[in-house]
Structure 1
């Protein structure tokens, strides 16, 4: 059976100017009834706020932290979503907690102490398409950032830019280039993305492989995405996706579990 990915159903939405400092992407999915169709959720290095609307009209707002490994699930029922993917380094400013406290978790937005958490009741009482306009005019007035947070966000942005190139440096070299210690770089990554710089790089590389898998020989993919060789790619793929590359392409995936969302 073919597994869907949420990105196949999402439509990018232009991000309002006032929200661009905090969002890396904004997408919308209409209310769909996909029945028992299973979903494959690939590892994700981004914290995401989800505004969910069920077919009945019931609404919920929750946060999905960075996902260190793939998950396979079935939808709870017909629903549509607006997803706000947060810029690395702004989780504490918006949600009141570091990204590392949300890694591999899904929590109700209302449980979080940051500005977005205080808006949870309002966001779940209006249609999702109105929620963006609400945030556009409300959020900028409630977000603050210390000088340290701003400095760390700049370092994190530069580090991510370096790690997502075809010639990504080693972590020690990257720390030297950014004039920080390796320990400080790891802490900045954990706080800002929810994972270490090494795991962030692994997920970035895996997503590049997934984008071209099936159309490019594995050996070529390994060479062009920074793996030592094809066996290194295969081992990392199995660890992060739960199955080897060939099985993934054939659709031989783990049995899906029922998606459990916070209430």
Structure 2
């Protein structure tokens, strides 16, 4: 039987990062063999700052970026990604919101959407040399302080108010709001709104709403009958939900529920729930 040991710690988000970072998690894993996971699409985008063995992205179902990484960012994905961790994996994961990517990393979300990108190529100061600082830190608290201090110094100007408003309306409706009705409320053309939103968030409003709705529905899978989940989240029927689950998670609802992966705070197989800080 394969031996696996894990350490998971969490720190509340610094007030200065509210709305940009949904959580920060420290994760260390030792295993006799590499471990593989499939991560469904979701609205939290993991910035993985590693200081252990490289991490392999085996497949990006609806994008690009397969390869081996130290530290990396997974952009807003419209589909699942499969990963494989080394025998000794250690990292600090920052769960960025789509708006947080633009403000904290200083680049449009569309440049990294549907992609996994090495941090050295995006933000060199958080790359290889920063990984060394994380490895040398004596405690998780020190690592969290390093990460959050680095992010706070990078916080740029707020995004376009139009984009923030539209994102809030999409998430507030659980992905069920009619995009054309929201566009009409803005008074701008559909092309202008879509282009502005996609530049910052990474996906079009319609595509982003699809991920939001799936994420909310996935959180109910295993707690409620599939037909009830479909009705509660505005799917036409159970078959519609099943098709979307396969599209966004790479497996049907029953398998996704059994795997215990569908939470709003899951990234690359690691969840910040039920942890401690040392």
Name the TM-score, length of structure 1 as normaliser.
Answer: 0.75
Q: 1:128-153 CA deviation, whole Å, 9 max, x = no partner?
A: 643432344454445432xxxx351x
Matched, 1:178 2:176: no
Whole-Å Cα distance in 1 between the matches of residues 154 and 249 of structure 2?
A: 38
Residue from 137, 141, 145 that aligns with 1:133: 145
Aligned pairs for 1:6-25 within 5 A:
11-20=9-18, 22-25=20-23
Residue 241 of structure 2 corresponds to which residue in structure 1?
A: 233
Residue from 100, 105, 117 that aligns with 2:124: 117
Name the TM-score, length of structure 2 as normaliser.
Answer: 0.71
Kindly state the Cα deviation for residue 9 of structure 1 after the two structures are TM-superposed: 7.8
Secondary structure of residue in 1 paired with 2:13: coil
Q: Tell me if the contact between 2:242 and 2:253 (Cα under 8 Å) persists in the aligned partners.
A: yes
Q: Relative to structure 1, is the Cα distance of residues 184 and 77 closer, same or farther in structure 2, using a 3 angstrom cutoff?
A: farther
Kindly state the Cα deviation for residue 46 of structure 1 after the two structures are TM-superposed: 3.6
Coordinate RMSD, CA, aligned:
3.1
Kindly state the Cα deviation for residue 81 of structure 1 after the two structures are TM-superposed: 2.0
User: Which ranges of structure 1 fall in alignment gaps of 5 or more residues?
Assistant: 1-7, 252-258
Q: Tell me if the contact between 2:7 and 2:29 (Cα under 8 Å) persists in the aligned partners.
A: no
Residue from 46, 53, 56 that aligns with 1:48: 46
Residue from 92, 98, 108 that aligns with 1:82: 92
Aligned pairs for 1:1-263 within 5 A:
11-20=9-18, 22-33=20-31, 35-54=33-52, 60-112=70-122, 116-127=123-134, 129=140, 130-145=142-157, 150=158, 152=160, 154-164=161-171, 165-166=173-174, 168-249=176-257
Secondary structure of residue in 2 paired with 1:127: helix
Kindly state the Cα deviation for residue 37 of structure 1 after the two structures are TM-superposed: 3.8
Q: Tell me if the contact between 2:23 and 2:94 (Cα under 8 Å) persists in the aligned partners.
A: yes
Number of equivalent positions: 235
Kindly state the Cα deviation for residue 28 of structure 1 after the two structures are TM-superposed: 2.0
User: Which ranges of structure 2 fall in alignment gaps of 5 or more residues?
Assistant: 1-5, 55-68, 260-267, 269-278
Q: Relative to structure 1, is the Cα distance of residues 121 and 245 closer, same or farther in structure 2, using a 3 angstrom cutoff?
A: closer
Q: Relative to structure 1, is the Cα distance of residues 214 and 171 closer, same or farther in structure 2, using a 3 angstrom cutoff?
A: same
Q: Relative to structure 1, is the Cα distance of residues 62 and 71 closer, same or farther in structure 2, using a 3 angstrom cutoff?
A: closer
Secondary structure of residue in 2 paired with 1:45: coil
Q: Relative to structure 1, is the Cα distance of residues 34 and 168 closer, same or farther in structure 2, using a 3 angstrom cutoff?
A: farther
Q: Relative to structure 1, is the Cα distance of residues 169 and 34 closer, same or farther in structure 2, using a 3 angstrom cutoff?
A: farther
